[in-house]
Structure 1
């Protein structure tokens, strides 16, 4: 099975529109149709119902969705493994919280690279809930996150604090903030 068929299927599951998927994949609409038809021919099942109101997945399409995601993930893992074969002694898969990536990823990764020059580094920016699942499944070796879900056989360590600033165009001092002018941001319990 060609990975391009899987990726086209996954994109169409997201957009539910052949033209939009074609735009996003930078191909023609007929190419998207051809790829989906080829995938449907392999299964001998329709994966999408097409009509004027749009494109909806069939029961077969919905059943294939999780498998397609897993196939895509495995393909990308295999690609990374083959690309780095012989170039590095070992590899490390790291997850990093979205809020931290912009401020710390470059500097932190440069330090990791200096300390471990023979290590291939794969960085994935995500949210705590997904990184917890990836750690538990063994898809990540290390994650820097805000809200850990403690799992047996994993080591957790507090590495620092994050400070946020309240910004206002109305007042200069916190004492002058009025409840009717304040927008409360609700974060996870870890905050």
Structure 2
């Protein structure tokens, strides 16, 4: 299949319309329409519903999203691998949950660069379920996630212990903020706390909620390493008697993915996990 068809499909999904996708891809809208028609004919189903508001995915389109991402990713990885001469630096493709890339992944890569570790590094920031699926498919060499996934062919290492603690602004304790730290956190939260989840403001992005709380006030659950400096400065305080929740970080990789590049990366990653005093976001 022409990889441009999958790229065009994903661009339309992201842009929300054929017209905007055409602008982003630097092609005409007629070209985009033709690509979608070709793709739909190849798959034997309709992928988009077009209306005045733009374009939305059909049920078949929603099911095709992960396939399209995998197709594009596999193609990019193949190009990267084949573009290197046989004596080139080893390559490593690592997937990371959104909440873990900064500063853990940033500082790990910085350390590898400072030490002049010659690695062709490819970092993929995705949601946990997609990372695990791509790891199972061999599209990723390793992943950083908050939940262990045990498989017979996977190595699972506990990288660091993190906690989610309830804090509030010392200036204004309201509104209640709810940060979605994943299904496991929500299950623990609902099981332990007698009251419903905070509904004053809800998001799945911790840095956004933290900025709102520091600016306007409020309370919610945040990672200890993130709020440590604000607790020390007196801007935030812990809510007395509130339960804590475990939020560990795991490194997962396939047994067949063990390589010199992965060993270098793992060593630097473990060093950074021990030396980072707090996380900025």
Q: TM-score, normalised by structure 2?
A: 0.51
CA displacement, residues 20-51 of structure 1 (integer Å, 9 cap, x when unaligned): 3223323332221233345456x396745766
Q: Could you tell me how far 1:108 is from its partner in structure 2?
A: 0.3
Q: Distance in 2 between matches of 1:64 and 1:184?
A: 31
How many aligned residue pairs are there? 183
Q: After superposition, where does 1:2-151 map in structure 2 within 5 Å?
A: 2-13=2-13, 17-39=17-39, 43=42, 47=46, 52=51, 55=55, 67-86=67-86, 88-113=88-113, 117-151=117-151
In terms of fraction of residues, the more strand-rich structure is 2
Q: Which residue of 1 aligns with 2:179?
A: 185
Gaps of 5+ in 2: 186-245, 248-281
Q: Distance in 1 between matches of 2:17 and 2:113?
A: 42
What do you get for the CA RMSD once the two structures are aligned?
A: 3.6
Q: Which residue of 2 aligns with 1:174?
A: none
Q: TM-score, normalised by structure 1?
A: 0.70
Gaps of 5+ in 1: 172-176
Distance 1:157 1:6, change over 3 A: closer
Q: Distance in 1 between matches of 2:70 and 2:136?
A: 16
Alignment partner of 1:100: what SS?
helix
| 1:132–1:148 CA contact under 8 A, matched in 2 | no
Q: Distance in 2 between matches of 1:185 and 1:154?
A: 30
Q: Distance in 1 between matches of 2:127 and 2:176?
A: 26
CA displacement, residues 45-77 of structure 1 (integer Å, 9 cap, x when unaligned): 674576655556678867866654443232112
For structure 1, which segment, 134-143 or 115-124, has the greater mean C-alpha deviation from structure 2 after superposition? 115-124
Q: Which residue of 1 aligns with 2:269?
A: none
| 1:136–1:151 CA contact under 8 A, matched in 2 | no
| 1:94–1:140 CA contact under 8 A, matched in 2 | yes
Higher relative contact order (CA 8 A, sep 6+): 2
Q: Could you tell me how far 1:93 is from its partner in structure 2?
A: 1.6
Distance 1:169 1:18, change over 3 A: farther
